[in-house]
């Protein structure tokens, strides 16, 4: 019974890692579409999101059957509930990539991000992608040190977001309201992807140690 | 055993309704702070959020103990997991109210929303608040018809969001980039509050009928 439980739990974590890899592709392709003004890639991100949604449903069904048939308690119960939450957050990261792709598509044949602010936005995208990649690692290896590093990357994301506002609101901004609104929303989407990445990483720490990183650091 | 289970489940739903009422206050006070440029009210929304977080933790603990001690299966299991998800979404609605309050506070002694676009933003706020109020009703009464109405309100929210972009991006917009960025982000926050309200209402429909509204309508 216990062995069956842990096998099924392992298979849930494999599925989570696979979904995380789909999310990584979504974030990276959405950024590509955005920075190149590429409608085809944007469309692909938008239509691929349904596959992430279906994968989420499968994880949920497995988790439910695990809860129903094995009635785990204490730590095991918390692990299954953590997995349910992780899959919700991964799906949300996919949705946010779709939002990025939709801004890209809306501005084709132009590029939504003006040259001047491109370094900041493209760095935000890189940080977000890198965080998603690390989260996939964390899900696979359950390595607590890597999980805690994901939280550190988030500090760079916050700093980049402030930087983007400084650029948008400076007197030298010459790209008007539309580009400013696009950039502000894009910043929000990448920031939220990063927030969810931290949250997923923290849940893995919880799964491994029984405590959340804030408590670990305290 | 079964009776104890249902009593505890009822008490979780009472707690969810109470949290929803705290969220309603957060949304309405954040809007007040925003439209009046009132720093004191904004501060109150920001500092009250911790109480919503604590209430969420209590619901989670109760739900965990219910899962551990009663090991519910099938429908009962799904209801407990739905409650866990609802409380996460309610907490998120509180966070989004804090974001609104922070924009209000940032612009004091000015008002973040220019007079010209005030009707649109203030209507978005009204719709959001109204949706949160209905959701509280839905949690208390488990009335499926009211829950489905929450989804209809969301269509007005989407239409208002498009309307706000039209106003921001029109040639007659004379309030510059900063106000446009504030309004775009505010629109995003109210839209997300509305999305979560719909999602909570849908989960109540699921709890009562065993199906989600989309399936019901199909």
pLDDT digits (tens, 9 = 90+) for A50-90: 999 999 999 999 999 999 888 888 888 989 999 999 999 99
- A179-205 pLDDT, tens digit per residue, is 999 999 999 999 999 999 999 999 999
Instruction: Please list every residue in chain B whose beta carbon sits closer than 8 Å to the beta carbon of residue A178.
Output: 169
Q: What is the pLDDT of residue A216?
A: 58
B143-158 mean pLDDT: 94
Q: What is the pLDDT of residue A73?
A: 83
Interface size between A and B, measured as CB pairs under 8 A: 59
B44-56 mean pLDDT: 97
Q: What is the pLDDT of residue B218?
A: 46
CA distance A137 to chain B (A): 26
Specify the pTM: 0.94
B96-122 mean pLDDT: 97
Give the nearest partner residue to B168 out of A64, A74, A181, using CB atoms: A181
Exposure string over B177-192, b if 16+ CB within 10 A, otherwise e? bbbbbbbbbbbbbbbb
B69-75 mean pLDDT: 85
Residues whose CB is less than 8 angstroms from the CB of residue A171 and which lie 6 or more positions away in sequence, other chains included: none
Rounded distance, CA B176 to CA B162, Å? 19
B169 touches A: beta carbon within 8 Å: yes
Q: What is the pLDDT of residue B22?
A: 98
Q: Do B181 and A181 touch (CB under 8 A)?
A: yes
Q: Residue A217 above 60 pLDDT?
A: no
Residues whose CB is less than 8 angstroms from the CB of residue B145 and which lie 6 or more positions away in sequence, other chains included: none
Q: Which long-range contacts (CB under 8 A, 24 or more apart) does B162-171 make?
A: B163/B120, B164/B117, B164/B120, B164/B121, B164/B124, B165/A181, B167/B116, B167/B117, B167/B120, B168/A177, B168/A181, B168/B117, B169/A177, B169/A178, B169/A181
HSE-CB at A94 with a 13 A cutoff on CA atoms is 26
Task: Identify the residue among A177, A183, A203 best suited for mutation to test binding to B, counting B beta carbons within 10 A and taking the highest.
Answer: A177
Q: Residue B9 above 80 pLDDT?
A: yes
B145 CB neighbour count, 10 Å cutoff:
9
Q: Residue A102 above 90 pLDDT?
A: yes
Instruction: Please list every residue in chain A whose beta carbon sits closer than 8 Å to the beta carbon of residue B181.
Output: 165, 168-169, 180-181, 184
Q: Residue A159 above 50 pLDDT?
A: yes
Give the nearest partner residue to A188 out of B73, B168, B188, using CB atoms: B188
A1 touches B: beta carbon within 8 Å: no
User: If you measure CA to CA, which chain B residue comes closest to A184?
Assistant: B181
Point out the least confidently predicted range of A128-132, B37-41, B67-71, B113-117.
Answer: B67-71
Give me the DSSP letters along B142-171.
--HHHHHHHHHHHHHHHHHHHHHHHHHTST
Q: What is the pLDDT of residue B29?
A: 98
| Closest CA relative to residue A101, chosen from A53, A167, A32, A23 | A32
Reported as a pLDDT band with limits 50, 70 and 90, residue A2 is confident
Reported as a pLDDT band with limits 50, 70 and 90, residue B216 is low
B207 contacts A216 by C-beta, under 8 angstroms: no
B18 touches A: beta carbon within 8 Å: no
Rounded distance, CA A173 to CA B178, Å? 11
B146-170 mean pLDDT: 95
Rounded distance, CA B112 to CA A3, Å? 58
Q: Residue A1 above 90 pLDDT?
A: no
The average confidence (pLDDT) of chain A is 94
Residues whose CB is less than 8 angstroms from the CB of residue B184 and which lie 6 or more positions away in sequence, other chains included: A181, A184, A185, B164, B165, B168
Q: Do B71 and A74 touch (CB under 8 A)?
A: no
DSSP classification of residue A212 = -
A215 touches B: beta carbon within 8 Å: no
Rounded distance, CA B76 to CA B71, Å? 9
Compute the Cα dihedral for B86, B87, B88, B92 and give only its sign. Answer: positive
Rounded distance, CA A143 to CA A205, Å? 8
Task: Please state the φ and ψ torsions of residue A133, each to the nearest 5 degrees.
Answer: -60, -45
Q: Residue A140 above 90 pLDDT?
A: yes
Reported as a pLDDT band with limits 50, 70 and 90, residue A215 is low
| Closest CA relative to residue A23, chosen from A139, A149, A142 | A139
Q: What is the pLDDT of residue B217?
A: 55
Q: Residue B199 above 60 pLDDT?
A: yes
B176 touches A: beta carbon within 8 Å: yes
User: If you measure CA to CA, which chain A residue comes closest to B189?
Assistant: A188
Q: Do A177 and B177 touch (CB under 8 A)?
A: yes
A47 contacts A78 by C-beta, under 8 angstroms: no
Task: Identify the residue among B80, B82, B177 best suited for mutation to test binding to A, counting A beta carbons within 10 A and taking the highest.
Answer: B177
Percentage, residues of chain B above pLDDT 70: 97
Rounded distance, CA B17 to CA B140, Å? 6
CA distance A114 to chain B (A): 15
CA A133 vs CA A24, A85, A127, A206: distances in Å: 6, 19, 10, 19
| Closest CA relative to residue A37, chosen from A125, A108, A114 | A108
Q: What is the pLDDT of residue B215?
A: 60
Q: What is the pLDDT of residue B211?
A: 81
* Mutual angle of helices B118-141 and B176-209, in 10-degree steps: 20
Instruction: Please list every residue in chain A whose beta carbon sits closer than 8 Å to the beta carbon of residue B77.
Output: 64, 67-68
Q: Do A169 and B188 touch (CB under 8 A)?
A: no
CA dihedral in degrees (A94, A12, B16, B144; nearest 10)?
A: 80
Give me the DSSP letters along A72-137.
--HHHHHHHHHHHHHHHHHHHHHHHHHHHHHHHHHHTTS-SS-GGGHHHHHHHHHHHHHHHHHHHH
Q: Residue B19 above 70 pLDDT?
A: yes
């Amino acid at each position: 019974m216990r062995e069956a439980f842990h096998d099924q739990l392992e298979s849930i974590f494999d599925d989570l890692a696979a979904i995380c890899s789909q999310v990584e592709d979504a974030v990276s392709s959405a950024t590509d579409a955005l920075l190149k003004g590429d409608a085809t890639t944007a469309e692909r991100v938008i239509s691929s999101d349904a596959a992430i949604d279906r994968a989420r449903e499968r994880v949920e069904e497995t988790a439910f059957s695990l809860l129903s048939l094995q009635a785990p308690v204490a730590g095991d119960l918390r692990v299954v509930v953590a997995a349910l939450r992780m899959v919700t957050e991964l799906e949300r990261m996919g949705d946010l990539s779709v939002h990025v792709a939709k801004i890209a598509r809306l501005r084709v044949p132009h590029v939504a991000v003006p040259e001047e602010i491109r370094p900041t936005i493209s760095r935000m995208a890189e940080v977000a992608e890198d965080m998603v990649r690390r989260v996939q690692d964390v899900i696979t290896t359950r390595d607590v040190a890597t999980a805690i590093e994901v939280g550190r990357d988030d500090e760079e994301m916050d700093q980049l977001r402030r930087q983007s506002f400084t650029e948008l609101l400076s007197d030298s901004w010459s790209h008007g309201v539309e580009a400013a609104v696009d950039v502000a929303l894009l910043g929000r989407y990448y920031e939220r992807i990063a927030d969810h990445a931290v949250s997923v990483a923290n849940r893995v720490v919880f799964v491994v140690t029984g405590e959340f990183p804030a408590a670990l650091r305290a």
